[in-house]
Structure 1
Amino acid sequence: MSIQEIELDRILPNPFQTRNSEDAEHIQNLVESIRMHGLMQMPTARISAGKEISINGSDPKPMVELAFGHSRFAAFKILREQMPASFGSMPLNIVELTDLQMFEMAVAENRERKDLTPIEEAKAMQRYQDEFKKTSAEVGKLFHLSDSAVRGKMRLLDLPVEIQDKVGRELTEGAARELLTFESLPDVLKAEKIWINGQNITLKERIAEMVQEGASQDELKKVIDSTVEHKATEMSKRGWKNTDELLNRAGEKIRMCKGCPWMITRNDTNYCLDKKCYESKQDALKLAVLNQASLLSGIAILDEDKEEYSHHTSFNYGHEAKLKEILEKRCENLRLKFNKYGNSSTALVEGFENVDVVCDKRAGQCTCLKAMQSGVDLASGEQGITEEERKEMRRQMKEQERIDREQRKHIERQTEIALTRGLMDHCLEAWKTALGKLIYDKESEKCGSFLEVLEFISKRVVSHTTWGDNRSVLRQCNELLEKCGLAKLDLVIDGDEAEQIEPVSQTSLGGAEIAGKSLMEVFEADVEPASEELDKGTWAPEEEFSECTAKTLKVAHGK
């Protein structure tokens, strides 16, 4: 070890220095410090083997390589330009150092200053590992990192060079890690179109824009996660292992998930980017489960083209008990169907919660279920329910349906007769109920007398008949009265003025004056039949009343 004054032109940087640039502000501060106080700490260097230089015609002298102290060296070169007589050389501690020692000193210097970019640090790790045959654990010991952190840092070197140049400057290390994830995505996902600010562009184009904008890790992560979740299939409920080899319906092997380039991991969750492959594995798993359940239960598997809800009969929603009885009778139309949700009340094959028992017949066409609902006993032969037995059940069901129809007709006919008698007897509640059923208007229930019922009918019939201008209304009302077998209105419209109706005759209902009176007031006047007679049901011959009422109700009901 010796301290020597070495000309600045003879000094070379550490060949293992990974820092590509100096901090200008830091260098300027050193310049001022050295100018005022001199060199406080002497750099260490070694003789460079085989390299010499002749300065100003003198004999060649060996070059030296700095182990550390590059910032002080840069400050001295600036001072030489300002004061060449005082700073043409700098003192160095010359020692013998191996390449490994030189490398480790360069790393130590940079670690203390903490001014390496993530890419510069990753390059240093890569060089240390390659040139000195170090493991990631040994690299981590030098850089004070775990071996997994070392591997993660070195992966930054897989980024394109144009992105590496931005890391530690425009882009953070976290953002760079998100870009690594993006680079690992298949091209088909990078080419997926996404909507951003009204633009329909590819994911690759959007990421390139965000790199130029210096996007943060969270911003990049949000865009990438959103695309993955939208375009890929989440695999947490897949039902098979990554190492399982499944067979499709043709008996061919489907590639396993382990090592598949179409499977990616985001936020500790696996995603499949090949939807067809994922669906084929779902189908293969379903088929394997069904085959095992069929072998155990002796029940055939439902055909694939009958898996839609309407193409078979399910026993859910209250028919579970009936299914158990049908199972005991061993109907040959029972089938097994896969239920991806599991825990169904019709999963009656022990040990197979995802397998439902259904009927091969279309929804609502299961003979056994219809027979039990009709009270027809199921057959109980040793060979199960045969087709002949099902035919007999269908015959019995048809006979039962015929009996049911006849009973219904009888019940409805007796009700019609009773209701007709109530209407003929002018029963107020019967009329109110009938009106509510006919015209779907609960206002009829508010009528307190038979007279109000009649007025309600008249108002509703007229309101459902008229529309348009006054001439149209007059024409429609006269057509209504004519249809009901009644005289037309003796009214005219003055078309030259404001089209107001001018009544010609002011009498109606037996000659009573009706000018300025409402329909209720007219009925309450001393006109036959009196309202008291209406309420008592003593007015009008049944034939005339029934004929007029029937016509009016037909109009009210739109017939």
Structure 2
Amino acid sequence: MANNNQPRKRGGLGRGMDALFSAYEETPGENEIVEEIPLDQIRANPYQPRKTFNQKALNELADSIKQSGVFQPVILRKSTIKGYELIAGERRVRASRLAGKETIPGIVRELDEEQMIEIAVVENLQREDLSPLEEAEAYNILMENLDLTQAQVAERIGKSRPYIANYLRLLSLPDEIKTMVGEQLSMGQARTILGLKDKDQLIPVAKRVVSEGMTVRQLEELVQSLNDEAPKEDKEKDKKEKAKKPPHYLAIEQEMQDYFGTATTINQRGERGKIEIEFLSESDLIRILDLLNIHL
């Protein structure tokens, strides 16, 4: 029997989200029926975080559907305008269209906007082939559309808050680099590139990483080297500041940098001082404020 679904990674979800998904499994519930829904009446879920679909895999699924049909019904809700909005099963819808089908088995459910968003996001987070950027977008969809904080998303998904924050950082990358993440750049490489002080170097360094096939370790050394190429007076100032800093302050800086996912410094004069946390964009600032439990 053909498998019309991608494998799911159920173990990573928090209890709240897992319970939500279990409540809307793609099998008929009591008093529900599976209907043949016209494909031309189905619109994509506007909250779908997945932007790319593997064409080879879609073609293979289409061939399977031509021979055996669709075994797992898709989940839909009636549109307030016309037709249906897809909740879960976009690969099956796309492949069915490729297979020349006119209808697809589906279950129509009454779902509100919040449920629609959560199910669409959770369904994708359970797939093995979601790219790092698509995963970041999934968390961003939950935050923006459900008015959730990073901490609340982390709790629902069953991840740590720094884990969510590190993925959200990817959204501050230039668009040209975003298209490279997942295919040409790994999550680790993308995060390391964000550590560049000179943001004009982001794209050139990303291209260099790809062309030279750099490892994350090699990239870390390159970023450190480029960051050290500051004007001589700045480098001397940095050396003097570091020399004056107590070792435990340097350790705290490193710990804070790991937590916030960006450059962090402690500057002290006498008994007073200040902590500086670098941000790369307005969305990056919001990410950091969220880590501090400050909400605009």
Same fold by TM (over 0.5)? yes
Counterpart in 1 of 2:42?
11
User: Which position in structure 2 is the counterpart of 1:259?
Assistant: 276
Deviations 1:155-176 (A, max 9, x none): 1111111111111111111110
Q: Which residue of 1 aligns with 2:259?
A: none
Give 1:216's aligned amino acid.
Answer: T
Matches of 2:216 and 2:121, distance apart in 1:
27
Alpha-carbon distance in structure 2 between the residues aligned to 1:260 and 1:99: 36
Cα distance, 1:208–1:8 mapped onto 2, change above 3 Å: closer
Distance 1:208 1:29, change over 3 A: closer
Preserved CA contact (<8 Å) 2:47 2:120: yes
Equivalence for 1:210? 208
3-state SS of paired residue (1:67): strand
2-structure distance, mates of 1:109, 1:96: 17
CA offset at residue 72 of structure 1?
0.8
Q: In structure 2, what is the Cα distance between the partners aligned to 1:165 and 1:127? A: 19
Instruction: Verify the 8 A CA contact 1:2 1:95 in the aligned structure 2.
Output: no
- CA contact under 8 A between 2:96 and 2:104: conserved in structure 1? yes
Q: Which runs of 4+ in 1 moved over 6 A?
A: none
Partner of 2:163: 149
Q: What CA distance in whole angstroms lies between the structure 2 residues aligned with 1:222 and 1:145?
A: 29
Structure 2 match to 1:120: 134
Query: Which residues of structure 2 form unaligned runs of 5+?
Result: 1-31, 250-265, 279-296
User: Which SS does the other structure have where 2:276 is aligned?
Assistant: coil
CA distance in 1, matches of 2:156, 2:277: 35
Between the aligned partners of 2:126 and 2:245, the Cα distance in structure 1 is 51
| Aligned-partner Cα distance in 1 for 2:59–2:94 | 9
Cα shift readout 1:397-453 (whole Å, capped 9, x = no counterpart): xxxxxxxxxxxxxxxxxxxxxxxxxxxxxxxxxxxxxxxxxxxxxxxxxxxxxxxxx
Counterpart selection for 2:110 from 82, 96, 101: 96
Using the size of structure 1 for normalisation, the TM-score is: 0.36
Residue 23 and residue 143 in structure 1: after superposition, are their counterparts in 2 closer, same or farther (change >3 A)?
Answer: farther
Distance 2:202 2:65 in 1: 51
Alignment-derived partner of residue 59 in structure 1: none
1:280-325 superposed Cα distances (whole Å, 9 cap, x missing partner):
xxxxxxxxxxxxxxxxxxxxxxxxxxxxxxxxxxxxxxxxxxxxxx
8 A contact 1:210–1:220 mirrored in 2: no
Query: Could you tell me which residue of structure 1 aligns to residue 99 of structure 2?
Result: 79
Trace 1:398-477 onto structure 2 (pairs within 5 A). none
User: Which stretches in structure 1 are left out of the alignment for 5+ residues?
Assistant: 53-62, 81-86, 191-202, 248-254, 262-559
Q: Specify the code of the residue in structure 2 equivalent to 1:90.
A: I
Structure 2 residue identity aligned to 1:8: L
Kept after mapping to 2: 8 A contact 1:171/1:216: no
Distance in 1 (alpha carbons) for counterparts of 2:108 and 2:141: 25
Contact 1:44–1:93 (Cα < 8 Å) also in 2: yes
Instruction: Name which of 72, 88, 91 aligns with 1:68.
Output: 88
Find the structure with the greater CA-based Rg. 1
1-structure distance, mates of 2:44, 2:88: 8
User: CA-atom RMSD, angstroms?
Assistant: 2.7
SS in 1 for 2:34: strand
Q: In the aligned structure 2, how far is the partner of 1:227 from the partner of 1:8?
A: 53
How has the CA–CA distance of structure 1 residues 246 and 97 changed in structure 2, closer, same or farther, with 3 Å as cutoff?
Answer: same
Shift of 1:115: 1.9
Pick closer, same or farther for the CA change 1:102–1:165 going to 2, 3 Å: same
- C-alpha deviation, 1:125, in angstroms: 0.9
State the distance in 2 between where 1:72 and 1:108 align: 17
- By how many angstroms is 1:229 displaced? 4.8
Partner of 1:238: 244
Counterpart code for 1:139: V
Partner residue in 1 for 2:225: 226
The one-letter code of the counterpart of 2:61 is L
Q: In structure 2, how many angstroms separate the alpha carbons of the residues matched to 1:141 and 1:205? A: 34
CA distance in 2, matches of 1:91, 1:127: 28
Deviation (angstroms), 1:127: 1.8
Shift of 1:18: 1.0
**TM-score, normalization: structure 2?**
0.66
Q: 1:172 to 1:15 in 2, by over 3 A?
A: same
**Do residues 136 (structure 1) and 160 (structure 2) align?**
no
Work out the number of aligned pairs and report it.
221
Task: Give per-residue Cα distances to partners, 1:184-235, cap 9 Å, x unaligned.
Answer: x157xx7xxxxxxxxxxxx668625414526432222111123445654355
Match 2:63 to one of 10, 32, 43: 32
Equivalent residue for 1:160, pick from 150, 159, 174: 174
For residues 277 and 135 of structure 2, the distance between their equivalents in structure 1, rounded to whole angstroms, comes to 32
Distance 1:239 1:171, change over 3 A: closer
CA separation of 1:170 and 1:147: change in aligned 2, threshold 3 A: same
What amino acid sits opposite 1:258 in the alignment? I
Q: What code does the residue aligned with 1:109 have?
A: E
Partners of 1:155 and 1:212 in 2: CA distance:
20
User: Once the two structures are superposed, what CA deviation does each residue of 1:109-156 show, in whole Å capped at 9, x if it has no partner?
Assistant: 222322221111111211211110112122123434211110111011
> Matches of 2:207 and 2:118 in 1, distance apart?
39
- Provide the rounded CA distance (Å) in 2 between the counterparts of 1:102 and 1:205: 36
Measure the CA separation in 2 of the matches of 1:154 and 1:30. Answer: 32
Q: Which amino acid aligns with 1:140?
A: A
Asked if structure 1 preserves the Cα contact closer than 8 Å seen for 2:193 and 2:202, the reply is: no
Which residue pairs with 1:41 in the alignment? 72
Pick closer, same or farther for the CA change 1:215–1:257 going to 2, 3 Å: farther
